[in-house]
Amino acid sequence: MALFESYERREKQILDVLKQYGINSIEECADICKEKGLDPYKITEGIQPICFENAKWAYTVGCAIAIKKNCTRAADAAAAIGEGLQAFCIPGSVADQRKVGLGHGNLGKMLLEEDTKCFCFLAGHESFAAAEGAIGIAEKANKVRKEPLRVILNGLGKDAAQIIARINGFTYVETEMNYYTGEVKEIFRKSYSDGLRAKVNCYGANDVTEGVAIMWKEGVDVSITGNS
């Protein structure tokens, strides 16, 4: 039985990448990780329970590569994990052409670097995966950072933002845009939990102009969107 979805379309290029690091099989990657007390398969499943099998194995391969490269900094390990993710992008696909795997690894690297102060999930209110990702990043990134990373969600729709905040225990922040001055001000704030989840600010904008102003207000350094 195949380890993951579209195994036959991915196997060759994955093995080609693994050979560069002296790894003979995809299964060996799991053994390499377990020798270091790591189980990327379970970690991935824990953060995103609905993810595909190929995602769990992609992170397992990426972690094995990071171990083989003797990465000692979390930021460097994230970039190495991106190599594993890229190996799982089906040849000729949009993900392969756009180097999505390497991009995700480099995104992780940026979020672990101290130069990045604030990260934004942009236009992600309609995605519960984005909310789960925000929780995961807030929990994990700050374990290795000296200064905690601030994480926000920012998208269209104030009602949607409040619903997502309430469901996930985030802090809902309502703003009002002054289109004459170009400034946005906070008019309401409510935390729906205590602790780490409450540190995630969730914004809803009436339009793109207000959304951009919110980004400036929060001092966002890095953002991603699932709508591109």
CATH topology of domain 114-225: Rossmann fold (3.40.50)
Q: Is 46 helix (H, G, I), strand (E, B) or coil?
A: helix
Beta strand 171-178 pairing with 183-191: antiparallel
Assess contact for 47 and 61: CB atoms under 8 A.
no
Residue 10 one-letter amino acid: R
The predicted model scores a pTM of 0.83
Neighbouring-strand partners of residue 153: 121, 202
| Domain ranges within the chain, ordered by starting residue | 7-111, 114-225
- pLDDT at residue 62, as a whole number: 98
Return phi, psi of residue 40, to 5°. Answer: -55, -30
| In the block, residue with structure tokens 């934004």 | 120
For each of the chain's 228 residues, which pLDDT tens digit applies?
689 999 999 999 999 999 999 999 999 999 999 999 999 999 999 888 889 999 999 999 999 999 999 999 999 999 999 999 999 999 999 999 999 999 999 999 999 999 999 999 887 555 666 677 777 777 788 889 999 999 999 988 999 999 999 998 999 999 999 999 999 999 999 999 998 889 999 999 999 999 999 999 999 999 988 654
The DSSP line for 54-111 is HHHHHHHHHHHHHHHTT--SHHHHHHHHHHHHHHTSPTTSHHHHTTHHHHHHHHHHHH
